[in-house]
Structure 1
Amino acid sequence: MSDIRQPQYCADIIAILTIVASFLPSLIASPVMLFSVRIHESVALPIHRRADLLLKVAALKCAPIENLARVFQKGFDSAVKRNSYPESVTSIESTPAWLTFLNPALFPRGKTSLSYLGDQVAVYLTLLTAASRPQPQYSLIVRGLLMRNFLGTKTILRGLQDTPGQVTRGEPCGGPLCMPHLCTPPLIPHTVYAAVAQILVMCVDCVPVLCKIASPGIKESGLWDSLDRTQVWNVQRPPWHHALVQLLTPSVVGVVAEVLRAVPPQPPAKPAHPSQLSVRLEHHLAAWTLQLLTGMEGVANMVPLSVIYTAHAINGCLPPTIKPTGGHIITQLVVSAIYSVINSRSSLDQLSDTPITDGQWDMMIAVGERLCSLHDGNYDSHLKRMTIALLAQLEDFEEENEEDSLDEYTDEDVIESLCTALANTVLSSVQGQHALVVVWEFLKRNMEWMQESLGAPAILPPATEQPRPPLCFAPDPLLYNPLYYYKRAIYTQLDQESLMSFKGDWEAVLWSDLGLPKGTIVDLIKKRPEFQNNAYLNKSQAAAVRKLRPLLRDPDEEEDEKKH
């Protein structure tokens, strides 16, 4: 190896280790296995062992010659006795040396679990492992969103709160209690925000937690127009508004179903005079609209308390120009949820014993249009009573001092069991199943964005400042493209400049137990370019070579020299 080739050789080693570190999360069940692992748990143990060996051999070839001279100034006899390598042939108890060498900020030395890591790093490694898995590991997704005071949840919600995106419909899955217009949603900011909020509400019993996490960003939002009473029809609302409506939707479907049963399958018979038809229709539409409002008044206790609490908290921040239906955000959200169900024929089909007729669909559309004009004053008293009934749910609520947190636990087995139980709770509903898959799909496409947003270091630190990665919501390609899936597996940039400028702590590697025989160490050092004929050396390199050269002589060669 020439002195010209040596920098590229070092870069090649760093590239190999970076790729191994990038692929490793896809092979482990928990990010803890990046730090400590037993042989029966994962394939990570042999990978760690081989990567460590590669690094130690590379250190003899790539480390500055001055470092070798300092470390081996007294010879090589102690090179395999500095510590008892390996500590155990069946386990690794703390951070493998090769990961610490690659990125000490991301993989600090001597750590045994996530409990000893900083918040940003712990959350990033957890979500990175969840995103890298070939199939969704739901307990890991839940852990990444809830750990460290909900840092992952806060990061996603804050990043998506005002992100534009067109709200479109997905195809219904046919599952029980599944709202078809919210089912298998497309991957857009609205559905991701709603999915994270859904998981949060289902996993955490503490009512104010949604408000504490979401309301600061909502209060700073500039997109308040969708909360005006004239905008009930407008489904192109910001992600945070969409999420609150989606959380409310399951509680309104029963009321919509009751009204749907009252709608005759056939349109009214043609009267003697056309004006009689309009009067008759107006009477029915008014009656069905009132039935919706009074029905919601009766089932106000079914509306999620966390949504009522959040709506009440942000209601006072509304600009004076925004006037929600019923004078309160919670009423506006409930009416929007009712409208979203009525406006979906597939949802109405599922709420009816038989598919609805065209006549029923026309009538329900007319009821939906009536919901868009509740501000005309004819329904003020009913809206007021519904608002009072909804806000009355807060009267009996006693705010807890502190919500339950995963951070209270340190034992990994306990945390894993708890997250599995929480994931099963989310999976018990079809909406929860879709929410977990949506979050997983989002993470797969946006881990570089998550890393930047969390402020965690990249596996391979960039040599120069890089632009912030954009959010990606693109669907998977219809045709198999290996480069696309490679980018989904490697969440770091392998640019030549970063590889060539990488600065690692080679001396720390050399001071560790190299696990190599003395003869092998000597042979590797002898082949370094500094020991070749006509090598170009500066003063410090020349001094290091002079110090090492006597140590590299073979005993047999020394005997021959003495004889001659």
Structure 2
Amino acid sequence: MEVMEDGNLMDKVLILIQRDMEYYTEKQSVLQEKICPGVVGGKLDFPRSASFAAVKLVLWWEDEFVAAYKKDSGFLQQQKPTKVSNDEHGAGIVKTSDPAKFTAAITKSSDQLLDHLHVLTQEALDHADLTVLTGTIGAAALIKNCLWCYVQRSEGKQAGLDELQKYQKKYQEMGEALAERLLDLHSRLLSLYILQDSEGLDWENERVFCESERGSYVIQMWWLYMQGTKDDLWNTVPPKMAQRVFAGMLNESLTILTVRYSHAMPSKARSQLYTVDISNLLLCVTKLLPAICNTANEFTGSQLNTQNKMLRDIHSKCQELLTCLLLRGSDLHVLYKMFKRGYDQIGILKPKLPGPSPWITFTMNHLYPELDLTSASSFIELLVLLPQPQPNWAQLLKFICMDECKVGKIFLNAALNELKPKCGVFLCSGDGSCKGVDTTSTFLTMKHYHDIIMAFTFLVLTIGNEREYRQLLLKFITKDATWMKSFDKRHVWSQQRPPWYEAIVQLAKPLMKPISDIVINAVKTGASMYQASSIVLTAFTQLWDCIGPELFIISSMLQDLLSTSVVPMGNSVLLQFLISGLYSELLESSTSNPPSVTIHLEDDKGNKAKDSLFDGTKSTPEEIALAVAEALCGIDEDNKHTEEINALLHEAKRATEDNPMNTEGIRRATHSDNVLEVMTSLLLSSKQGKRSLKILHHFMQNNDEWLMDILQGKSTELKPTLANKKSKGLLHTMFYIGDKPFDELLIGNWTPNWQQLFTVPMGLNAHRVAVQIFARWDLKHGNNQETLVNIQKILKPTSA
């Protein structure tokens, strides 16, 4: 779609809306633009895509903001150049504005786009067009977030700020209203079409359904629709909104199904269909429920948030369905035995105990028969973590850190096994470099395993303590017989480093760019290579307070384990890490001019250093960076910088003593949700921390079956892979609940232990039990007088 880029904002907006409406009229769709996955979701719930009109308007608004405030708003992540137009004489004119004009232009254009979105919304609802509806939702979400950013960035309370807040609220309300309409649309489709089947719902029919070869179509079609809709919601609307809509769909459809099955009076021929349907339904809900939960406790019903009424409703309805299944589907002789014991001996009539809901225990024991629910906290956390519409970084961190980093150790062991040299053929170097070179393989290459090890190492370094360093990192590092090789000062220039080594170097990353700029600028203005080395050491010393205690502590631990035959730079593991990191930074230095920074410099004798043969004043920044990098490789030769090195090490030790490491370490992640959020924010505050969490999350998503088997204690021959996980196909989704086929009660693959179920405390009262039991056809019409008498004795007060 072509729109003009020059001219008054209001004129451009009118033409933009006109062109967008013309596009809809012609194509019956909304032109959309994708949004970077890195910002999707979050606290503001950014959409995955927005209409072209909304995206273009935001870009124009940013030009207006820069003109009014002489700075960028920060909404576009990267600063956008100020718009420059030409006058009639060809001279460049920078667009000018002020906060009042900016606010007036934004509110007017917001109002015009709002009217346009209302028109598109009405068209979408009239034609039940979900594509157009989700497109308008994305546009409303994007504009709402942009207005929120402008409100936060606006200075003071200038005129018109209230108007910005008013329109921000309007777009927020519009997004919420559209989400309600989306939910209403899906709920109507479910109730009017999916959940209707005159043949399968004819419970009083004396003929068996489908020759007793299958359950009803309703549950199967409902399962398929819910799965497909979840995928659509996850890929279209903002993540949090998608989760709310899907939760509403599940809750409302479950209401219909629960009322239907709890009040049904099936004939003898349809009684088996009744129990098969309920069993299928409970298994389906067990698979769908994790997508709308935030914690394992919410999924199991152990500690439901009192504010999350929807989850409480879902658990209560599923518990009602389990009651129907138990009291109507259990064998008659089981009923006879249980009710012969007396009221006090019937477990289901006793108050429910703390812990997982009985219905979730019932289905989980069938779906995962080898799983011990009492000690399966990691497994259940994984079930909840995987189907989320957006990564929950705090939950991911908790999962990795649970049970003393059980999952993290699994990742490390998998990577270590693959990195072991297994080639063994003639001329094999034995360092594992011959592995992972097959680029056509779907399995992880050596680089991928390096990334996983580096990610987990950085995570432990950032939030762990000394004990965890020893148990998790040093134990892993020293498994490699050649680990000390990395600390030979002759290899300080090498860029082929072990992943754990690179992760440790990343701790000093905040210092590398400033020091690189400083030393390049110094050499550019005439400093010698000797002075450049002094500048580096002095800068490390003066800026050391910017580094936490983790680098010094892990360096000291490795120093203690280092053999006397290996000599690191300046005989210091810490200095080896620092010079390695700066060497890499200098190699990657950009061509931009470094800032002018003054460093107080003296050589080791307090005199002016001798001039270098390298003339930095006539060299490019790239040449200077390479020269300095090579000079750093000999920084400890001839004891020229001994005092400066000692000063750096002394400063690092002093700073660590003044700022000791937290003693609780990783265990804090599982003790308090507030502390977990702080630790997650700490990781996300650095580029390497973000990358580490994303690598671990991606690896886990694509290897969920492999990881689940390990957490269940199964032996598996599956290999982890980094390829995008492939769907098992529509037919598998239709006829399977996870890995279990539909109608397992019918085909004999599942025989519940009814007698044991009767011993589970469920908090039922005699009236509820009586209603369900006396609806059984075999008690109403069969010759089972003794069983009926025993039941009536116990439930006599309520069965009259």
Q: CA deviation at 1:136?
A: 2.5
* 1:44 to 2:311 alignment: yes
Secondary structure in structure 2 of the residue aligned to 1:335: helix
CA distance in 2: counterparts of 1:209 and 1:71, whole angstroms: 52
Residues in 2 aligned to 1:441 and 1:157: alpha-carbon distance in whole angstroms: 15
For the 8 Å contact 1:219–1:314, the answer to whether it is kept is no
- 8 A contact 2:279–2:325 mirrored in 1: no
Deviation for aligned residue 1:352: 5.4
Distance 1:188 1:29 in 2: 29
Q: Which residue of 2 aligns with 1:444?
A: 701
- Partner Cα separation in structure 1 for residue 546 and residue 523 of structure 2: 24
2:787 equivalent to 1:551: yes
The CA deviation at 1:135 is 1.6
What displacement does 1:134 show? 1.4
Tell whether the 8 Å contact from 1:52 to 1:97 is kept in structure 2 after alignment.
yes
2:286 matched residue in structure 1: 21
Q: Aligned pair 1:374/2:627, yes or no? A: no
- For residues 148-196 of structure 1, the C-alpha deviation after alignment (integer angstroms, 9 at most, x for no partner) is 5455555545554676599xxxxxxxxxxxxxxxxxxx99444444444
What is the DSSP-based 3-state SS (H/G/I as helix, E as strand, rest coil) of the residue aligned with 1:43? Answer: helix
Kindly report which structure 2 residues correspond to 1:311-460, keeping only aligned pairs within 5 A, or say none: 311-318=555-562, 322-346=566-590, 349=592, 359-371=620-632, 373-374=633-634, 378=637, 381-382=640-641, 386=645, 389-390=648-649, 393-394=652-653, 397=657, 403-404=663-664, 415-451=672-708, 456-457=711-712
2 CA distance for matches of 1:491 and 1:392? 61
Distance 1:390 1:159 in 2: 36
Query: Corresponding residue for 1:235?
Result: 495
Matching of residue 508 in structure 1 with residue 767 in structure 2: no
Worse-superposed segment, 133-142 or 439-448: 439-448
Task: Pick from 138, 148, 157 the counterpart of residue 393 of structure 2.
Answer: 138
Distance 2:624 2:594 in 1: 15
Aligned equivalents of 1:416, 1:350: Cα separation in 2: 45
Overall identity of the aligned pairs, in %: 18
Corresponding residue of 1:538: none
Paired residues of 1:255 and 1:292 also in contact (CA < 8 A): yes
Could you tell me which amino acid in structure 2 is paired with residue 122 of structure 1?
S
CA spacing shift, 1:519–1:62, aligned 2, 3 Å:
closer
Aligned 8 A contact 2:668 2:676 in 1: no
Equivalents in 1 of 2:395, 2:282: separation in Å?
25
Matches within 5 A, 1:276-287: 284-285=528-529, 287=531
Distance in 2 between residues matched to 1:139 and 1:242, nearest whole Å = 24
CA contact (8 A) 2:669 2:675 kept: no
Quote the offset at 1:234 in angstroms.
3.6
Counterpart of 1:248 in structure 2 is 508
Contact 2:486 2:497 in 1 (8 A): yes
1:449-499, CA deviations, whole angstroms, 9 ceiling, x for partnerless residues? 54455xx438xxxxxx5415433333589xxx6859x99xx9975489x99
Question: How big is the shift at 1:257?
Answer: 1.8
**Structure 1 residues 442 and 194, CA, compared in 2 at 3 Å: closer, same or farther?**
same
Please name the residue that 2:296 is paired with: 31
Write the distance in 2 (CA, Å) between the matches of 1:255 and 1:452.
48
CA shift in 2, pair 1:19/1:145, >3 Å: same
Q: Is the contact made by 1:144 and 1:152 (CA closer than 8 Å) also made in structure 2?
A: yes
Residue 177 of structure 1 corresponds to which residue in structure 2?
A: none
Shift of 1:445: 3.0
Task: Give unmatched runs, 5+ long, in structure 1.
Answer: 109-116, 167-185, 266-279, 459-464, 533-545, 556-564
Residue 304 to residue 189, structure 1, CA distance change in 2 (3 Å)? farther
Give, in whole Å, the separation in 1 of the partners of 2:536 and 2:417: 31
| 1:159 to 1:3, Cα distance in 2 relative to 1, 3 A | same
The amino acid across from 1:214 in the alignment is L
Give the whole-Å Cα distance in 2 for the aligned partners of 1:24 and 1:226.
49
> Kindly tell me: are residues 416 and 508 of structure 1, through their superposed partners in 2, closer, same or farther at Cα, counting changes over 3 Å?
same
**Deviation digits for residues 374-406 of structure 1, max 9, x if unmatched?**
39x736543785367336634673998982368
User: Which AA in structure 2 matches 1:52?
Assistant: Q
Q: How far did residue 27 of structure 1 move?
A: 0.9
The separation in 2 between residues aligned to 1:450 and 1:101, in whole angstroms, is: 23
Counterparts in 2 of 1:122 and 1:352: CA distance versus 1, 3 Å: farther
Q: Does 1:288 align with 2:288?
A: no
* Mapped partners of 1:323, 1:12: distance in 2: 71
Q: Deviations over 1:503-561 (max 9, x none)?
A: 7543232345678564643555749xxx99xxxxxxxxxxxxx9x675369x9xxxxxx
Cα contact 2:451–2:499 (8 A) shared by 1: yes
Q: Given residue 474 of structure 1, which amino acid in structure 2 is its aligned partner?
A: A
What is the letter of the counterpart of residue 579 of structure 2?
A: V
Distance 1:48 1:366 in 2: 68
How much has 1:334 moved relative to structure 2? Answer: 1.4
Mapping of residues 514-533 of structure 1, within 5 Å: 518=770, 520-521=772-773, 524=776, 526=778
Kept after mapping to 2: 8 A contact 1:30/1:126: yes
Q: 1:341 is paired with a residue of what secondary structure?
A: helix
Letter of the 2:472 partner, please give it: I
Structure 2 distance, partners of 1:551, 1:360, is 94
1:470 and 2:719 are equivalent in the alignment: yes
Partner of 1:397, secondary structure, is helix
CA 1:433/1:326 → structure 2, altered by over 3 Å: closer, same or farther?
A: same
- Give the aligned partner of residue 176 of structure 1: none
Aligned letter for 1:21? T
Question: 2:508 is paired with a residue of what secondary structure?
Answer: helix
From the superposition, tell whether residues 416 and 304 of structure 1 become closer, same or farther in structure 2 (CA, over 3 Å). closer
Equivalent residues of 2:455, 2:695 under 8 A apart: yes
SS of 2:349's partner is coil
List gaps (5 residues or longer) in structure 2. Answer: 1-207, 216-271, 420-431, 434-445, 597-617, 792-800
Deviation at 1:366, TM superposition (A): 3.7
Asked if the contact 1:199–1:432 (Cα under 8 Å) also holds between the matched residues in 2, the reply is: yes
Contact 2:709 2:715 in 1 (8 A): no
Higher RCO, 1 vs 2 (CA within 8 Å, ≥6 residues apart): 1
**TM-score, normalised by the number of residues in structure 2:** 0.47
The match for 1:271 is none
How many Å separate the matches in 1 of 2:280 and 2:505?
A: 47
Q: What's the CA shift for 1:38?
A: 4.5
The 1:248/1:503 distance shift into structure 2, 3 A limit, reads: farther
Q: Secondary structure at the match of 2:641?
A: helix
- So what's the TM-score if we normalise by structure 1? 0.63
Give, in whole Å, the separation in 1 of the partners of 2:540 and 2:449. 29
Q: CA RMSD in A?
A: 5.2
Instruction: Sort the Cα spacing of 1:352 and 1:145 in 2 relative to 1 into closer, same or farther, 3 A.
Output: farther
- Is the alpha carbon distance of 1:440 and 1:333 closer, same or farther for their aligned partners in structure 2, counting shifts above 3 Å? same
Range 378-387 or range 124-133, more displaced = 378-387
Aligned equivalents of 1:13, 1:358: Cα separation in 2: 78
Alignment partner, residue 38 of structure 2? none
Structure 2 CA distance for partners of 1:149 and 1:342, relative to 1, 3 Å: same
The CA distance in 1 between the partners of 2:295 and 2:477, in whole Å, is 33
